[in-house]
Structure 1
Amino acid sequence: MAEDKTILELYRNGEQNQAFNLLVREYGEKLYWHIRTLVLDHDDANDLLQNTYVKAWNSLETFREDAKLYTWLYRIATNEVFTFLNRKKIINFLSISRNEATLERQLAADPNFNGDKVQMSIQKAVAKLPPKQKVVFNLRYWQEMKYEDMAEVLDSSAGSLKASYHHAYQKVVEYIKKDFDMDN
């Protein structure tokens, strides 16, 4: 991507402010929604996005240009999400775990969520997926990322990601069928 080269050139030429602004302008919204679809909460997504920027910025000097900048950023963001979800899982295990009604209330009360019942059902179904399937589903379904790019982000093979997406998709469909009582 031309923007990637421009960001890296600006950074290396000492124009860090311009490089950072371009990085945020080019990838900020995409990264935010990638994170947001995984953690659901707006504030958590913003915090994780900030962490992603800090880690990326501190490591930009060592970025190998054999990878795409956006897949590298997605990998950092995804790792931040995994760390967050694992930490949250431990906290939820030690306290009262979040149930479906709590998730539904959280989505309904969120001013940034403007989805209908189908979207809410999809979000609830995705929230129930194991972390890796959740990421794979979101990257493919919402972000429409190619399997080859997903393989770079997740350090996995495209074939295993296709299988993971298929399993996740089937689980989401089953959940939605039950949610809408379509089997009866």
Structure 2
Amino acid sequence: MDMTEKRKLFESIVPQYSEKLYWAIRRIVLCHDDADDVLQNVFIKVWNGIDDFQNRSKLSTWLYRIAVNESLDFLRRKRNVASLDMSDNLSVANRLEADQYFDGDRVQALLQEAIASLPDVQRVVFNLRYYDEMKYSEISQLLETSEGALKASYHIAVKKITAFMKEHQ
């Protein structure tokens, strides 16, 4: 693919997928600024890897895989960095309510806290299935795991979220 074709393809991808990918990332990393940073990294990886995309999966699956992997890598790096920031001591719900970009109510903030309390894989599976309404077959390709394992992860995630919400209301 020559540079002109690459640029045209990339320029069609960015506006078509920016918002969807942003929200997929945001539900994993929670903070607007972090989501913007991760999204930027995703598009850098897309630009660098677009020549290698081989159409073995749908373009959206490839993009979501990059976004999910970048989000999880971001969380791993964040956990490994010792932070003295006092806001880290606040609950997820309190941080979201203080975020100028969060437009939900207390129940939605608690839901996000419940989701944030899930292990990474359960959180990703829940978000992709519940918010992005992806089919298990798509998530299976994206995460390279069986549909049965995904269904189990989703079911367990729903039970944990339900228990969390009951406990905090």
Alpha-carbon offset, residue 110 of structure 1: 1.1
Match of 1:120 in 2: 109
TM-score by length of 2: 0.92
Match of 2:129 in 1: 140
Any idea what SS the aligned residue of 2:81 has? helix
Alpha-carbon offset, residue 13 of structure 1: 7.6
Within 1, Cα distance between the matches of 2:38 and 2:18? 12
Aligned partner letter, 2:12: L
Count matched residues. Answer: 168
1:38 aligns with one of 28, 33, 43: 28
Match of 1:49 in 2: 39
Match of 2:161 in 1: 172
Which structure 2 segments of 5+ residues have no match?
Answer: none
Which structure 1 segments of 5+ residues have no match?
Answer: 1-10
Would the alpha carbon gap of residues 44 and 96 (structure 1) be closer, same or farther in structure 2, given more than 3 Å must change? closer
The reply to whether residue 152 of structure 1 matches residue 114 of structure 2 is: no
TM-score by length of 1: 0.85
Alpha-carbon offset, residue 28 of structure 1: 0.8
Within 2, Cα distance between the matches of 1:16 and 1:64? 14
Within 2, Cα distance between the matches of 1:141 and 1:113? 19
Question: Greater Rg, structure 1 or structure 2?
Answer: 1
The reply to whether residue 58 of structure 1 matches residue 52 of structure 2 is: no
Match of 1:5 in 2: none
Within 1, Cα distance between the matches of 2:161 and 2:85? 25
Match of 1:85 in 2: 75
Alpha-carbon offset, residue 175 of structure 1: 0.3
1:99-154 Cα offsets, whole Å, 9 max, x none, are: 4x342332011121111122111100011111111111110111111111001111
Any idea what SS the aligned residue of 2:103 has? coil
Within 2, Cα distance between the matches of 1:121 and 1:105? 9
Alpha-carbon offset, residue 56 of structure 1: 1.4
Higher mean alpha-carbon deviation, 28-37 vs 57-66, is at 57-66
The reply to whether residue 69 of structure 1 matches residue 74 of structure 2 is: no
Identity %: 46
Within 1, Cα distance between the matches of 2:141 and 2:147? 9
2:64 touches 2:142 (CA, 8 Å); kept in 1?
yes
1:55-103 Cα offsets, whole Å, 9 max, x none, are: 11111111111210100111111111111111111225x757934x342
